[in-house]
Structure formats: C-alpha cells, structure tokens
Amino acid sequence: MTGIKNTAYPPIIVFLALLMTILVMRGPITCVGAVAEEIIKTLHIGYPAYGFLTALPIACFGLFCAAAPAMSKRFGLLVTVLICLALILIGTAGRLIPSYSVMLMATALIGIGIAVLNVLMPVLLRDYFPNNIALVMGVFTGFIGFSGSIGAYFSVPLLDAFGSLEAPLGLWVLMSALALVAWFLAPRAKRITVAGGAFQWALLKKPLTWAVIFVMGMQSLTIYTTVAWLPTILSTLGFSASEAGLGSAVFLLVSAPASILTAAFIKAVGGERPASLIMTASFAIGIVLWLLGGTWSFVGCVLAGIPQGITFSMAMILMAKKTNSLSQLLVISSLAQGIGYVLAGFGPFICGLLYQGDGQWLSVVGFMLCAVALWGLSAWYAFGDRKLFD
C-alpha cells in the first residue's frame, strides 16, 4: 500500500469531504425501511418484492467490493471516491422515479458505489490521519452508524411534511451532491493507490476462513434486516410511523458510541470471546423485547443496537488479528466482505418471504435469532489462537 504520509492535519474542506462521504454510506439504504408501507403502496408491490428491493444493495456490497483495489490501481483512490459518489448521486436521483424497475436499477447503483467506499474509505482515512488510526477508525464506524440513524429517523417526518416519497429519498440526492462538491473543492493530493496480495483458493478450505466470513456476514445480515423490517414490526404493534422510525434510529444511533468503545469493552470483559458471548445474548434479548410493545420495544432497540456497533468493530479487529501483513488483510477483507455481504443480502429477502402481512412475526424473529446465534458461534471459534495464513 502506498500513499501520502501526511504529518499535518488536512484542511477543513477535506474534513467536510470525508464527513459528507461517510454520511452517505448508510443513510440512502436505511431511509427505505422507515417508509416501507409508502414504498409498497406507491410502487404497487408486495412484501416479497419489497424484501428483494431492500436486499439488493447489501448483495451489491458483496458482489462489487472486490472491484475496489482494481479501481484504485487504475484511477487512483481519490478519483475512485468521486466515481462512487457519482454513482450514489445518480442512484438516489433515479429513485425519485416511481417505477419498481427503475428503483431496482437505481438502488443497485447506490449499492455499487457504497460497496467500493466500504473497502477504500478506511485506506483514505489512514492516509490522511496516519498517527491517529485507532481513534479515526472508531469515529469512522461511529459516523457510519450516525448516517444510518439519519436515514431511519428523518424519513417519516419528511414524508409527513411534504406528503411525497420524493422528500425522504431526495434528501440523499442533496447529501451525495454536497459530498461531490466538497471533494471538487478540496486541494488536489498526490495519486493514492492500493495494491493487494494474491488470493489463495486454499483459504476457502479452512474452517477459520468461513468463521471470519460468518462473523462479517451475520453481523451485516442482522443490521440490514433490522433496518429493513423493524419499522414494519413496530407499526404492527401499534406504533405510529414516526415512532417506528424512531425505534430504528435508536437502534442505529446507540451503535455509534458503542463502536468507538469496543476496545475498552473487550478489555473490561477479559477478551474477544466473552465479549462475543455477551453481545450475542444482548442482541437476542433485544429481538425478543421488540415483540412486547410499548417501552419494552425501545429497550430492545437499545439492547440490539449496542451489539451492532461492537460486532462491526470486532469484525474489523478479527480480520486484522488473523493476518500478518497489509496485503493479507486486504485479501481477507475483500473475501469476508464479498461473501459476507452476499449472505447478508438474503436476510431482508428471506424475511419478505416469511412475513405474510398478518402481523405475526415469530418466523421472522426466529430467523433473526438463528443468524445472531451463528454470529456468536463463529466469533467464539474465530477468536481462537489460529491464524489464516502460515
């Protein structure tokens, strides 16, 4: 990996460009779940079609994250970021057209843009802040959670205020446009490229590899399935659309400070294995509490939201611990995110098949509890003493 070894902090416009880029890495996706019923009505689709729509960007995360090193090598990291933001801008603008087929194509563009940013943004942050990596990565994951909470919380108020889906969906046209403008105004830096190591097919024969993949994949499956379906679950329990959106926002918002405190939490409980056990139990209890209604549902949002922040950070820590070099880390990161996000994409879609529109959520909750349990078992195994590479 090569890049600029900055010794000074970047100018304020770069801070703004980085911040705006992070803020469009989850919100364009999480905004959909809060207005699910309006989307279903406007596009004249059923729950399975809605489930496919919400699964599509997560599947794109997995299918296209492997393109990040090649694009960076070809265009340079900063130009690749601009390309990704342009894809997100085009996709968010395309979603304003009330057509299911157009919505699918636009959503795919958003997913592709975010997929590449998922891999390259940590590299860009490391280049700009080489002396504060731990803090910056914690803030990075925290702001990703904040991005998701903006999408979940503000969708319903915008829909109510303007009476149209164009308002909550259009917010992300504005946000992505501002991110693009910020990068065009930022000072031009030297070309930054990323070079990865060679993929080893033998990795797929190792149980440890699949444990790492499931740690990444099940964490992603649970968060995106929750974002897509929690507002609908809460609505059937008697919550207003605004309250249901607030539940999703709480779920995402508490994950932000939790992710920053991951290292302290692991140290406090005596290691990654007990931490994974506690987080598995917390998420499982949170899911069950969703169905109790009232204040208990919001308690469940908190108990499920805290693990989301910590398990994402633990997945990053796990990949770093199981590799010996940056090239190995890039290989396993692309592999784990690639297969993991493809697996995660099935979560919202499967829930769409399981839910019959009758307000009965036991099959959906059972599916999610199985995913949480698989994450816990995989994390317990993966955080052993084994290494992925000899």
Give the whole-angstrom CA distance, residue 321 versus residue 319: 6
Q: How confident is the model over 288-311, as pLDDT tens digits?
A: 999 998 999 999 999 999 998 888
* Distance of alpha carbon 276 from alpha carbon 165, whole angstroms: 39
**What CA–CA distance (Å, rounded) separates 72 from 195?**
8
CA–CA distance, 350 with 359 (Å, rounded to integer)? 16
4-27 pLDDT, tens digit each: 444 455 678 888 898 999 999 999
Residue 242 is predicted with a pLDDT of 87
Residue 199 pLDDT: 54
Per the rule left: phi > 0, alpha: psi between -120 and 50, beta: everything else, 76 is: left
Q: What is the pTM of this model?
A: 0.77
pLDDT of residue 263: 80
Which of 312, 168, 291, 185 is CA-nearest to residue 237?
Answer: 291
What gap in Å lies between CA 25 and CA 30, rounded to an integer?
10
The reported pLDDT for the residue numbered 380 is 94
Q: Give kind and range of the element (H or E) at residue 334.
A: helix 326-354
**In this predicted structure, what is the pLDDT of residue 162?**
93
Phi/psi of residue 70, nearest 5 degrees: -65, -40
pLDDT < 50 stretches in the chain: 1-7
Cβ proximity of 388 and 328 under 8 Å = yes
Token pair listed for 263: 């290292």
Residue 119 corresponds to which tokens in the numbers above?
């891999």
Identify the structural domains of the chain with CATH numbers, from first to last.
12-382 (1.20.1250.20)
Q: Which two tokens stand for residue 184?
A: 């065009």
CA count, 13 A, side-chain hemisphere, 48? 3
pLDDT at residue 2 in the model: 41
DSSP 187: P
Rg (CA), the chain: 20
